[in-house]
Amino acid sequence: MNNSYKSIIKSNGLIGFVQVSKMFFGLIRNKVIAVLLGTQGFGVWSLYMTYLEMVNTFSTLGLDKSGVREISKISDDEEAVAKCIYVFRRTLLVSSSFFALLSIIFSKTISRSLFDSSEYAIGIVIVSFAIIFNSVSKGQVSILNGLRDLKGLALSQILGSFVGTVSTIIFVYWLGIDGIPFYLFLVGLTLVMSTWWFVRKLRIPVIKPEFNEYKKLLFQLVKLGLGFSIAGIIFSFMTYLSKVYLSQNFDVEVVGIYQASWTISNLYVGILLTAMGIDFMPRLMKVIDSEKRMNTLINEQMELGLLVSSIGIIFVLFFAPLILQVLYSKSFVVGEEIIRWQILGVSLRVLGFPFSHTIMAREKPIIYVLVQSLFSVSDYLLIIFFSNLYGFDGLGINYFIAYLLYLSVTGVICYKMFSYKPSMLLLRIILIVYSIILGSWIVTDIYSGIYINILGIIVLLVMSWWIDQVLKKNMSISLINMILKKIKKSND
């Protein structure tokens, strides 16, 4: 097996398992909320989550991402690691506490902005404590990741997801919509406790750096995280504006349907890219000075990513109504058309992912912020444009067009920056995969029912066989054989 492709495959192991576990528990939570509270309750949950994620993006200052890189870089020096973690943890705690305090003070204003009513102000106050918990737990995860304690990272994440699911069932069943803030509070608290426990087992000494050294470490952490942080802030803010727009111009039920559609569209590919991202950045940094090797690495990432992700994309296209009904409820099936457009955007996300990481690896934070902002702002403006043009039926088109624009711009930037050139194998894969995706998109738009589901199964089987042949011929990988070996090993 090609070592480079093998490294990409292996990165999907433990991290992929964690993401699948989180996805499983997340789907159960979504199902509980959808069944017990309906589309309106799911919309309220979506608005709470959007607000929490947006504020957490502000409060972490990007340290959760820069911390991984810095800790990994100095992991062999125990004293340097201890000093870095000292600065890292305290900065996160102070920053998140500040934003939580602001959230509590302005809870009524925030409630009116989110829900067009001040009746959710108490819920905002409760969620404010989750801001602290989530930020601190992200910091603990960064420490575990940076010191390569992937087992501790995995167990803490799975434990947090499990408790979150149980608390959802309890609080939502007991209190209805009013139980959502308590569930978010408890999930955050569980993550803090579980990640703290595993970080504590690493026995990291507490070493306080001198004032000048503290400032130097802080500056380095913030400088690295700033590009990620600003881009994340803009993304979260534009997502927040999009959902507020949907809530005010349609209703909160449409917010829930749109969120459910987005979740399903990004579920499989999100897991794939998260797992790949763990491996991609470190390998990218090793070849950062060689344009030829960077080209090769990016093409390998795209080739394998598009092949593996295409199965999930085709599956969603053929079975979107069934997925919505099974994972949520029958009232969510109207989101089928939204998913059809969003899944096209998701396919482009797979290709844009290596470009954006490369821009950041080349230490171009301003360009990174600009291209990420291009997607976020265009997605928001296009959702307004297409919803005014087509009403509810226009939702989802924005996501596809925004990612098409994003991919085009990042591709041109990488070409200008280091003469990026796609491989012939990548071009062949793109041609065949997108021919199948486009054909499936057209067929599922015209026909529906059991015959489409049967056709979907046939297409998936044929495509799986073709993908396995491409992997064996060009990458010395057989996914089918790997899966069969895993099954045989588990039975033994």
Most confident range (mean pLDDT) of 173-177, 269-273, 388-392 is 388-392
Token pair in block for residue 53:
């994620």
Confidence category of residue 449, pLDDT binned at 50, 70, 90 = confident
Most confident range (mean pLDDT) of 173-177, 255-259, 374-378 is 374-378
Cβ–Cβ under 8 Å, residues 329 and 37: no
Cβ–Cβ under 8 Å, residues 305 and 273: yes
pLDDT at 422 over 90: yes
SS3 326: helix
Is pTM, for the whole model, over 0.95?
A: no
Confidence category of residue 490, pLDDT binned at 50, 70, 90 = low
Most confident range (mean pLDDT) of 22-26, 314-318, 331-335, 362-366 is 314-318
Cβ–Cβ under 8 Å, residues 161 and 25: yes
Alpha-carbon gap, residue 352 to 359, rounded angstroms = 11
Cβ–Cβ under 8 Å, residues 317 and 448: no
Provide the pLDDT for residue 487: 58
Q: Flag the least confident range among 125-139, 148-162, 345-359.
A: 148-162
Q: What is the DSSP letter of 330?
A: G
SS3 476: coil
Closest CA to 164 of 192, 198, 144: 192
Provide the pLDDT for residue 278: 67
Alpha-carbon gap, residue 157 to 212, rounded angstroms = 35
Q: Flag the least confident range among 344-353, 399-408, 475-484.
A: 475-484
pLDDT cut 70: percent of the chain above it: 91
Provide the pLDDT for residue 8: 61
Most confident range (mean pLDDT) of 59-73, 277-291, 420-434 is 420-434
Render pLDDT for 424-440 as a digit per residue (tens, 0 to 9): 999 999 999 999 999 99
Sequence length of the chain is 492
Token pair in block for residue 295:
């080209």
Compute the average pLDDT of residues 127-146: 88
pLDDT at 191 over 60: yes
Q: Flag the least confident range among 178-192, 201-215, 417-431, 470-484.
A: 470-484
φ and ψ of 207, to 5 deg: -125, 115
Provide the pLDDT for residue 108: 93
Provide the pLDDT for residue 288: 75
Alpha-carbon gap, residue 88 to 230, rounded angstroms = 18
Closest CA to 68 of 216, 351, 209, 277: 277
Alpha-carbon gap, residue 148 to 11, rounded angstroms = 13
Alpha-carbon gap, residue 371 to 293, rounded angstroms = 24
Render pLDDT for 227-266 as a digit per residue (tens, 0 to 9): 778 888 888 789 889 988 998 888 888 888 888 888 888 8
Ordered DSSP codes for 87-119: HHHHHHHHHHHHHHHHHHHTHHHHHHHHHSSST
Alpha-carbon gap, residue 159 to 175, rounded angstroms = 24
Closest CA to 168 of 269, 295, 32: 32
If residue 194 lies in a helix (H) or strand (E), which one and from where to where? helix 180-200
Cβ–Cβ under 8 Å, residues 43 and 339: no
Cβ–Cβ contacts within 10 Å for residue 310, how many?
24
Q: State the maximum Cα–Cα separation within the chain, in Å, rounded to a whole number.
A: 70
Render pLDDT for 69-102 as a digit per residue (tens, 0 to 9): 777 767 677 888 888 888 888 888 999 999 999 9
Render pLDDT for 213-229 as a digit per residue (tens, 0 to 9): 888 888 878 877 877 78
Based on the number of CB atoms within 10 Å of its own CB, is 146 exposed (0-12), middle (13-18) or buried (19 or more)?
buried
Alpha-carbon gap, residue 173 to 203, rounded angstroms = 40
Render pLDDT for 452-477 as a digit per residue (tens, 0 to 9): 989 999 999 999 999 888 888 887 77
Q: What are the boundaries of each domain within the chain?
A: 11-236, 250-492
Compute the average pLDDT of residues 6-19: 64
Q: Flag the least confident range among 48-57, 118-127, 275-284, 373-382.
A: 275-284
Alpha-helical (H) ranges within 328-396 are 336-361, 365-390
Please list, in sequence order, all residues whose beta carbon lies within 8 angstroms of the beta carbon of residue 21, skipping any fewer than 6 positions away: 157, 158, 161
Confidence category of residue 184, pLDDT binned at 50, 70, 90 = confident
pLDDT at 176 over 90: no
Compute the average pLDDT of residues 51-76: 79
Instruction: Give strand ranges (E) for 106-249.
Output: none
Alpha-carbon gap, residue 491 to 2, rounded angstroms = 28
Based on the number of CB atoms within 10 Å of its own CB, is 100 exposed (0-12), middle (13-18) or buried (19 or more)?
buried
Based on the number of CB atoms within 10 Å of its own CB, is 178 exposed (0-12), middle (13-18) or buried (19 or more)?
middle
> What are the C-alpha distances in Å from 437 to residues 46, 162, 351, 459?
29, 35, 15, 10
Provide the pLDDT for residue 482: 65
The more confidently predicted of residues 337 and 76 is 337
Provide the pLDDT for residue 3: 58
Q: Look over the chain and give the mean of its residue pLDDT values, rounded to a whole number.
A: 84
Alpha-carbon gap, residue 275 to 475, rounded angstroms = 19
Provide the pLDDT for residue 12: 58
